[in-house]
């Protein structure tokens, strides 16, 4: 059933601003983070300690972190792609970090310049270093529904990557529909759903899914490219539900977060179905900031204002003051010189 409380992880200053065409000054980033924290958000992802050649928008990570490190009303995680980034983050005062893997081999290469398996080696070094300092590590899985290069990604692949991140010590796993191609699904109770079997780290799990059939012969590896063909059953009845079911079979639901980009406007229904499955952590971006450099037309994360509006209406507690959040959204939209990507902000500004 629906959770009573939802933790919102605000990713605007990181995921949003990393993808905005206009680079924002350090002072504006710091003020934005302060406004977001004062709206009651308990987690605000502040920046990334990544290569400034790859993400020039966040080249001021050290200055941003040093300016916000003493804000103690919220956790302020930062992205760290490797040990170098982790050490720089800690030196600047970060007390929470996040690592980011992908369920798509192609996206892993284009995003962090290494294969999925190579990324696990890097990330194990980060989680081990973090453990020594008692620093919590969040793990992201990108392309949980689709990849701009590979197309549809099988749920078994997402479950595999999520479990690896969980096993290496991530306290929370965020499932990212990076290009926003997911649609929800509903369970009409019909028996047309097929069973598929996949072997995840030793244990065979069986689950119902309308979307994917795995042809099993003897030793299932639960992955593509191992001789076990994956067959699509045509349109199916959604893509997010089978993915979540596959991940929930290997990672406890209370550790899962959902991270939807809103390219096709499907984030809110996708969030709703995630909540109905018991997920209680939702990533979002104030004013719907962002885009995706790897997918033409892809938009930012679902707007935090819209998520809070929906949750307020559902009677689910978030501890976020919508009025103050709207002010934070106005502030950054004015600085970017563009209208807010939040429907709620647009509606309320016209009243």
Closer CB to ligand HMG, 81 or 184, in the complex: 81
Residue 302 is a binding residue for ligand HMG (CB under 6 A):
no
The footprint of ligand HMG on residues 191-220 (CB under 6 A) is none
Supply the minimum distance, in Å, between the C-beta of residue 86 and ligand HMG: 8
Q: Applying CB under 6 A, does 55 fall inside the site for ligand HMG?
A: yes
Residue 139 main-chain phi, psi, to 5 deg: -115, 130
156 touches ligand HMG (CB under 6 A):
no
Size of the site for ligand HMG (CB under 6 A): 23
In the set 33, 44, 94, 112, which binds ligand HMG (CB under 6 A)?
112
| Rounded distance between C-alpha atoms, residue 210 and residue 226, angstroms | 22
Q: Could you give the CA distance from residue 282 to residue 244 in angstroms, rounded to a whole number?
A: 14
49 sits near ligand HMG (criterion: CB under 6 A): yes
Residues forming the site for Mg ion (CB under 5 A): 15
Tell me the catalytic residues: 292
CA-CA distance, 344 to 304, in Å (whole number)?
9
Q: Are 287 and 332 in contact (CB under 8 A)?
A: yes
- Between β-strands 230-232 and 256-260, what pairing exists: parallel, antiparallel or unpaired? unpaired
Could you say which of 10, 15, 96, 164 contacts ligand HMG (CB under 6 A)? 15
Tokens of 47: 């920046």
264 binds ligand HMG (CB under 6 A): no
Residue whose Cβ sits closest to ligand HMG: 176
Q: How far apart are CA 104 and CA 149, in angstroms?
A: 9
Give the start-end residues of each E strand in the chain: 7-10, 43-44, 47-48, 78-79, 97-102, 137-142, 146-147, 151-152, 172-177, 194-200, 203-209, 212-214, 230-232, 256-260, 281-284
* CB-nearer residue toward ligand HMG: 14 or 211: 14
Closer residue to Mg ion (CB): 90 or 101: 101
From the CB of 317, what's the least distance to Mg ion, in Å?
25
| Nearest CA-CA partner of 269 in 177, 341, 163 | 177
Is 142 a binding residue for ligand HMG by CB under 6 A? The answer is yes
| Tokens found for residue 351 | 């009243």
In the bound state with ligand HMG, the residue whose beta carbon lies nearer, of 55 and 311, is 55
Toward ligand HMG, which CB reaches closer, 102 or 280? 102
Residues in contact with ligand HMG by CB under 6 A are: 15, 18, 48-51, 54-55, 79, 81-82, 84-85, 100, 111-113, 140, 142, 176, 178, 259, 261
């Amino acid at each position: 059933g629906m959770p009573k409380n939802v933790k919102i992880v605000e990713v605007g200053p990181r995921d949003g601003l990393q993808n905005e065409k206009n680079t924002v000054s350090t002072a504006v980033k710091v003020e934005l983070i302060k406004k977001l924290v004062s709206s009651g958000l308990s987690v605000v992802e502040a920046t990334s300690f990544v290569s400034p050649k790859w993400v020039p928008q966040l080249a001021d990570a050290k200055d941003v972190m040093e300016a916000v490190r003493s804000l103690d009303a919220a956790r302020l995680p930062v992205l760290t792609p490797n040990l170098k980034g982790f050490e720089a983050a800690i030196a600047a005062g970060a007390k929470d970090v996040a690592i980011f893997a992908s369920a798509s081999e192609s996206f892993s290469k284009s995003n962090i310049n290494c294969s999925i398996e190579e990324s696990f080696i890097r990330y194990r070094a980060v989680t081990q270093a973090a453990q020594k300092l008692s620093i919590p590590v969040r793990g992201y899985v990108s392309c949980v529904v689709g990849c701009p290069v590979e197309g549809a990604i099988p749920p078994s692949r997402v479950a595999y990557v999520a479990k690896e991140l969980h096993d290496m010590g991530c306290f929370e796993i965020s499932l990212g529909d990076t290009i926003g191609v997911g649609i929800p699904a509903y369970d009409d109770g019909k028996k047309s759903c097929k069973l598929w079997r996949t072997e995840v780290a030793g244990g065979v799990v069986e689950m119902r899914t309308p979307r994917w059939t795995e042809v099993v012969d003897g030793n299932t590896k639960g992955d593509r490219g191992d001789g076990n063909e994956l067959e699509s059953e045509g349109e199916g009845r959604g893509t997010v539900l089978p993915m979540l079911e596959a991940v929930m079979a290997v990672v406890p639901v209370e550790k899962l977060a959902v991270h939807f980009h809103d390219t096709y406007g499907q984030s809110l229904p996708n969030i709703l179905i995630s909540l109905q499955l018991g997920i209680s952590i939702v990533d979002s971006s104030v004013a719907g900031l962002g885009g995706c450099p790897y997918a033409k037309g892809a938009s930012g994360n679902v707007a935090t204002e819209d998520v809070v509006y929906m949750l307020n209406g559902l009677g689910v507690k978030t501890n976020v003051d919508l009025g103050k959040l709207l002010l934070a959204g106005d502030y950054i939209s004015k600085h970017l010189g563009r209208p807010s990507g939040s429907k709620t902000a647009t509606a309320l500004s016209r009243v």
